[in-house]
Amino acid sequence: MLDVCLLGTGGMMPLSYRWLTSLMMRYNGTSILIDCGEGTQIAMAKKGWSPKPIDIICFTHFHADHISGIVGMLLCMGNADRTEPVTMIGPRGLERVINSMRIIAPELPFELNFIEITELEQEFDFGDFRIRAFRANHNIMCYGYSLEIDRTGKFDVERAKALNIPVNMWGRLQNGEEIEYEGRYLTPDMVLGPDRKGIKLTYCTDSRPTDMIVKNAADSDLFICEGMYGEPGMEKKARENKHMTFYEAADMAKRANVKELWLTHYSPSLNYPKEYENAAREIFPNTHTCKDGRTKEINFEE
């Protein structure tokens, strides 16, 4: 099960009633954060999710509304007694930017490992899951991210029995281990059916719509995408500021054949995103405008 929380839904600046856009995910004891603007640690505390298990922090880009809260977040993780290293993923320059900001927090009780994205599309393997970064189209270097959790095939008890594999090895094979046993070489494919559908989530802000986003969001269970503007007539402004409208996001969701679309990163001038939800649903029916703290559990299909 992947536990997802959109901690904030604002763009540009935090408002008294709307935190800046940030996504937190929990899977199998690991937490992953995407973006961390001013106040994200408070939004997280409000939600009641712990900062301690955050193993990975991804940054879309270095505009302040996506990164200005990182120093407070790191200190907050330190206060929560984290000692394990934290991995940060982001555009080129990440290490320099973070270290420059850390002038007010030079000492932390854990190490930081930096992964700077160098390709247009790049995949990072974390064992249980993979994170894929893909280039967006904003006015500075910016990336979207897909998180994918694979699921192996179903364990075939009859085959395992027929092959005389001892029961105490079933679990190890199911977990992907290869075993040498009494001269035999046992591999998972001997007892597992074909791979089953995993879980896929895609997150993209800030960007104009692009084919690259559509391609990377393909077949996602959840697509979280910026919808800076919902009001009619904002297409020109969206183009100029390298952002997108609800309708451009909904069109990408449709083309990418995702299951569900969450809109976020609202302009401070957009007080009631829900007003324009139905208009976006005419393009992609399962579109949702979001409030801070929106949560969803994504389970493997039965």
Token pair for residue 22?
């940030």
- Neighbouring C-alpha atoms within 13 Å toward the C-beta of 229: 18
Beta strand pairing status for 184-186 and 287-289?
Answer: unpaired
Does 42 bind its own copies (CB under 8 A)? Our answer is yes
The smaller minimum CB distance to its own copies, of residues 15 and 283, is found at 15
Does 1 bind its own copies (CB under 8 A)? Our answer is no
Catalytic residue among 35, 65, 206, 221: 65
Distance separating alpha carbons of residues 263 and 28, to the nearest angstrom: 26
| One of 1, 28, 79, 184 touching its own copies (CB under 8 A) | 79
Does 62 bind its own copies (CB under 8 A)? Our answer is yes
Active site residue 55: no
The one segment of 7-15, 152-160, 252-260, 281-289 that binds its own copies by CB under 8 A:
7-15
| One of 14, 90, 91, 144 touching its own copies (CB under 8 A) | 14
| One of 8, 11, 69, 90 touching its own copies (CB under 8 A) | 69
The smaller minimum CB distance to its own copies, of residues 103 and 167, is found at 103
Rama region for 265: left / alpha / beta (φ>0; ψ in -120 to 50; rest): left
Alpha carbon distances (Å) from 72 to 8, 38, 139, 198: 16, 8, 26, 34
Which of 96, 20, 8, 24 has the alpha carbon at shortest distance from 56? Answer: 24
Does 267 bind its own copies (CB under 8 A)? Our answer is no
Q: Number of residues in contact with its own copies, rule: CB under 8 A? A: 29
Q: How far is the CB of 73 from its own copies (least distance, A)?
A: 9
Our separate counts of H helices and E strands in the chain read 10, 16
Which amino acid would we find at residue 266?
Y
Strands (E), the chain: 2-8, 22-27, 30-34, 54-58, 86-91, 112-117, 121-125, 129-135, 143-151, 179-181, 184-186, 196-204, 222-226, 261-264, 287-289, 294-298
Residues 87 to 116: which contact its own copies by CB under 8 A? 96-97, 100-101, 103-105
The smaller minimum CB distance to its own copies, of residues 72 and 198, is found at 72
Does 67 bind its own copies (CB under 8 A)? Our answer is yes
Does 167 bind its own copies (CB under 8 A)? Our answer is no
Q: How far is the CB of 92 from its own copies (least distance, A)?
A: 14
Active-site residue list: 65
Give the footprint of its own copies on this chain (CB under 8 A).
12-16, 38-39, 41-42, 45-46, 62-64, 67-69, 71-72, 75-76, 79, 96-97, 100-101, 103-105
